[in-house]
A and B are shown apart, each in its own frame.
Chain A
Amino acid sequence: MKILVGDNPFLGISHFAREKGRETLKSLTIERKMEVLKAAAEEGASGFTFSTHSSNLELLTYMRDYEKDLLQKLEYYILVPYATEYIRLTDVAGTDRLIKNIVMGNLKKNPMRLIGVPPYFVINLFVHENLKQYLEILPRYNVKAVLLHEVLSEVVIAFQLTKVVRELRKHFTKLGIGFGLETRNAAHLSKLLKKSGETLDYVMTPMNPLGYQMGIKEESEKAIAALSGKGVKVIAMNILASGACTIEESVTYLKQFKNHIYAVAFGTSKPERARGNTRCLNLHLNQP
């Protein structure tokens, strides 16, 4: 099972308490973030999962310039877009203007590609535009997956937009990158994939002993098993229930699903915790 470092603490995001996230961010320099990634990698973490926030671009640029070995060593699972930025933009300018800006922006950059094409292509271009700068920095072979952020994934699931999924998957397959959805509604997603006959390369979804952000826990667990049974690589996120569970409680829980989980992701702002958590996850989830 792969172990990935998540970026939430790097962005000041805490699903436990927002004040805690803000406090963390105050003391988090780029060097400190590097220490976290290095500590986890030394203990066997193999990847970094992050959203397309400008501070992550800054971090990856720093890695390219000063920590090339680590950049080459890690695998990358990218969440796109960084949703909060767009939510804030809708607050300022309104959703209609934001959509217009996205469409017009893409039109300017890709005039020939947008004339008379279906909206799926606009979505592909929107996603691709968000990723472009990251893909220029990262070693292409190490970019394992692009995952649609939950804000869009849940819309896809709720409105059964399987064609969007198909087109995006096709787009990234051509680039040699896996495609998936990040969702807090795994049970609904599993049902949709079963009904439509579509598939995904990856699904990233919360898995923790409390069932926090999992919907109805038992249903979500069954869905995870079903997804993995169909060859979808399941990445368990929020494994510590945003800090309400210990790593020991988490591994005891995750052990039950060992055969269904492809990777686990956890976030921390502390190098010593990155080291300890990776060691514990490796010991309990990867021993024969």
Chain B
Amino acid sequence: MTDYTKLLPTPLERDPAFYRGETVKVAVVGFGKMGILHATIVNLMREDAVKHVVDTNRLIRLGGALLLKKVKFWGKLKDLLSREEVDAFYVTTPTPSHFPVAKEILEAGAKGIFIEKPPTANAYQAAELADLAKRAVDMVGLTRRYSLTFRHAKELLTNLLAKHPVTEVRAYVKYGSAAPPAGKLGKIGRGVLLDLGVYLIDLLHWYFGDLHAVKASYKSVYGKADDVFRAELETDMGFPVFIEADWTDPSCRLPEAKIEVVGEGLALEVSDDSLILKREGKTLNLYKPHYYSSFPPVNLAYPEYVIENMHFLTCLKRSCKPETSLAGAVRVMQTIDELYEIACPE
């Protein structure tokens, strides 16, 4: 059976001994769903690594402090920054506050910072953070980059693109989360493209290089922001890329992303769950269980969440930049800004 862990960002992540290694002091800022998810994964990999939680909600601090005896709860980030030494911060607050929170952490000279996606509301903020993070180990939670199906597709495309020029790419990300009142991004006036579309734009940049916005449209179902966003982009290689981001699809109980690449004598379909490659009369059909055999070492939610945390801890140990650092995310955010600028209501 093929060992697909060879697709991991660095060989270190394949060594189980690494996860039982030295301790790391982690602080989680924002103890909502994503904060709890990352804190749990980190603690499963490194016992008692999560030392601090910052949350503005008193109920969460009170309940958390009563339950999690080994974790110190803080109401104000500045108090933590001035009093404690922390190796890595996880910024998992609601998106509108990513920028001020991350800025405060980076200005305090943090060694490591992980920012949940989308990193900021726009490219200007992302660029400012990237500038501040030059000396830090900074990572954006563009989780799908760490999914082995999407990583496998990257490897295949790198090898196949020269032989099979691409003619068209179609990609979507769908979910059924947004029901009224869908106000989590309300303050920034942006919706599904920023929140979920960022995954697609990141993957497409990674696969095909620069993308240029051609046309875009959106539909607001629940509020003023985009709940469905459709766009056409063009790559430097000249082929069109059609994307759709939609969080109004009730049939999708969890977010789903899929990319279809059509080329001369080539058809590649990659999603969170599978990879199907049709080439020269042959079909390669792989599903999630084929990729994640006896891996990753701990399990919570989808394996890609664990892998991104493994990668972050690896980079922290080696003091190197993660694959999805802020500098790379700036270009992704620029494409998102361009799409919002040209988008018309449907």
On A, residues with C-beta under 8 Å from B are 12-13, 15-19, 22, 84, 87-88, 90-92, 94-96, 99-100, 103, 118-119, 122, 150-151, 154-155, 157-161, 164, 184-185, 188, 210-218, 241-245
**Contacts A94-B94, A99-B63: A154 and B294 contacting too (C-beta < 8 A)?**
no
B337 within 8 A of A: no
B40 A158 Cβ-Cβ under 8 A: yes
Q: Which residues of A contact B256 (CB under 8 A)?
A: 18
A184 B300 Cβ-Cβ under 8 A: yes
A155 B57 Cβ-Cβ under 8 A: no
Q: Which residues of B contact A245 (CB under 8 A)?
A: 289
B66 within 8 A of A: yes
For A205, the closest partner residue in chain B by CB is B299
A87 B16 Cβ-Cβ under 8 A: no
Question: Chain B contact residues (Cβ within 8 angstroms of A): what range?
Answer: 35 or more
B288 A154 Cβ-Cβ under 8 A: no
Q: How far in angstroms is the closest Cβ of chain B from A16?
A: 5
Q: Which residues of B contact A218 (CB under 8 A)?
A: 294
- Distance, CA A177 to CA B165, complexed state (A): 62
List, sorted by A's number, 11 A–B pairs whose CB atoms are closer than 8 Å. Answer: A18-B254, A95-B32, A96-B60, A99-B60, A155-B36, A157-B44, A158-B39, A185-B299, A210-B289, A242-B287, A243-B289
Q: Chain A interface secondary structure, helix, strand, loop or mixed?
A: helix
B70 within 8 A of A: yes
Q: Which residues of A contact B273 (CB under 8 A)?
A: 16-19
B287 A12 Cβ-Cβ under 8 A: no
Q: Which residues of A contact B292 (CB under 8 A)?
A: 212-213
Interface members, chain B 152-187 (any A CB < 8 Å): 176-179, 181-182, 184
A95 B43 Cβ-Cβ under 8 A: no
A12 B253 Cβ-Cβ under 8 A: yes
- Distance, CA A12 to CA B254, complexed state (A): 12
- Distance, CA A124 to CA B104, complexed state (A): 39
- Distance, CA A170 to CA B70, complexed state (A): 24
Give 10 new A-B contacts, CB below 8 A, not counting A92-B181, A216-B297, A244-B289: A19-B271, A19-B273, A95-B32, A119-B63, A154-B40, A160-B70, A185-B300, A212-B292, A215-B296, A216-B294
For B195, the closest partner residue in chain A by CB is A91
Q: Of A15, A88, A119, which is within 8 A of B288 by CB?
A: A15
Q: Which residues of B contact A88 (CB under 8 A)?
A: 176-177, 253
- Distance, CA A118 to CA B65, complexed state (A): 11
Q: Which residues of B contact A118 (CB under 8 A)?
A: 66
For B287, the closest partner residue in chain A by CB is A16
Q: Which residues of A contact B254 (CB under 8 A)?
A: 18, 84, 87
B282 within 8 A of A: no
A103 B274 Cβ-Cβ under 8 A: no
Q: Of B31, B290, B295, B298, which is within 8 A of A188 by CB?
A: B298
A215 B298 Cβ-Cβ under 8 A: yes
Closest 7 CB pairs of A and B: A211-B294, A184-B299, A95-B32, A244-B289, A158-B43, A91-B177, A217-B294
For A240, the closest partner residue in chain B by CB is B289
B338 within 8 A of A: no
Q: How far in angstroms is the closest Cβ of chain A from B292?
A: 6
Q: Which residues of B contact A122 (CB under 8 A)?
A: 63
Interface-centre pick from B44, B50, B177, B184 (highest chain A CB count, 10 A): B44
For B255, the closest partner residue in chain A by CB is A91
Q: How far in angstroms is the closest Cβ of chain A from B145?
A: 19
- Distance, CA A91 to CA B185, complexed state (A): 11
Q: Which residues of A contact B274 (CB under 8 A)?
A: 17
Q: How far in angstroms is the closest Cβ of chain A from B184?
A: 7
B293 A92 Cβ-Cβ under 8 A: no
B253 A242 Cβ-Cβ under 8 A: no
Q: How far in angstroms is the closest Cβ of chain B from A192?
A: 10
- Distance, CA A19 to CA B50, complexed state (A): 36
B234 within 8 A of A: no
A90 B33 Cβ-Cβ under 8 A: yes
- Distance, CA A164 to CA B64, complexed state (A): 13
B288 A185 Cβ-Cβ under 8 A: no
Q: Which residues of A contact B290 (CB under 8 A)?
A: 210, 244
Q: Which residues of B contact A95 (CB under 8 A)?
A: 31-33, 36, 60
For B291, the closest partner residue in chain A by CB is A212
B284 within 8 A of A: no
